[in-house]
Amino acid sequence: MLQELGHHVIGVDASPHMLDQARKRLPGADFLEADLHRLPLPDNAVDTVICALALTHVPDLAPVLAEFARVLRPGGNLVISDAHLLVSYLRPTLARRPGPDGRPSLLAEYHRPLSTDLAAAIPLGFQVRHCEEPRRRRHSLNADTAPNPLPTHMTWDLLHWYPEASAAAMEYSPIVVVWHFQLDSIVKG
């Protein structure tokens, strides 16, 4: 969408496979292999940083947000979306595809209260412009029409015994948090 609006898009990911997929979908964008802690961009290089569903896998937010502040121009925007803390209570971390040893692997997930995001961002000169906590779309609890709100292989048996309760919990609980921060417009020194 940003590219269609005329923006120069630079995508960064640590996974070569994900970068290959992104290049296929957006051939006109620049894609760089890197870790969020060391973005291959000069200081004050970009107007906006968008980080989608990645920070839940980072143990310490402060260094990553400091890196975002480094590459942003003064007055630049940071938009973050990530799994909401409440999701960790409603569903455990699920195994992903098999790892190098053939066994299912887990991506490390760090579930934090929203105050942790603020505690990491504000000392770096970020100001909150907006925060949103979207919920799942409302749906009927009718078993014939309602989607299964959680995977069927859950280990928490109560979810299977009381599917209406699990559906209600998922319907009314935020699933992600979306932050819009703006970096102070004072020239960084």
87: its two tokens: 């999701």
Whether pLDDT at 142 is above 60: no
Residue 148 scores a pLDDT above 50: no
- Give the whole-angstrom CA distance, residue 21 versus residue 43: 28
Helical residues (DSSP H) of 45-110, grouped into ranges: 61-71, 85-90
In whole angstroms, give the CA distance from residue 161 to residue 142: 16
Euclidean distance between CA atoms 9 and 50, whole angstroms: 10
Give the global pTM: 0.76
Higher pLDDT, 179 or 84: 179
Residue with tokens 């802690």: 37
What band does 175 get if pLDDT is binned at 50, 70 and 90?
Answer: confident
From 12-16, 56-60, 113-117, 184-188, the region with the lowest mean pLDDT? 184-188
As a whole number, mean pLDDT of residues 151-174 equals 57
How are beta strands 30-33 and 10-13 bridged, if at all?
Answer: parallel
The pLDDT of residue 139 is above 60: no
Q: Cβ–Cβ contacts within 10 Å for residue 69, how many?
A: 22
Sequence ranges of the domains in the chain = 35-135+174-183, 141-172
* Average pLDDT value over all residues in the chain: 80
Nearest to 37 by CA among 17, 22, 55, 21: 55
* pLDDT level of residue 117 (50, 70, 90 thresholds): very high
Length of the chain: 189
108, 57 in Cβ contact below 8 A? Answer: yes
- Mean per-residue pLDDT, 43-59: 92
Looking at domain 35-135+174-183, does it have CATH number 3.40.50.150? yes
Instruction: Kindly state the average pLDDT of the residues 38-63.
Output: 94
pLDDT given at position 109: 76
> Of 99 and 186, which is predicted with more confidence?
186
> Between β-strands 30-33 and 72-83, what pairing exists: parallel, antiparallel or unpaired?
unpaired
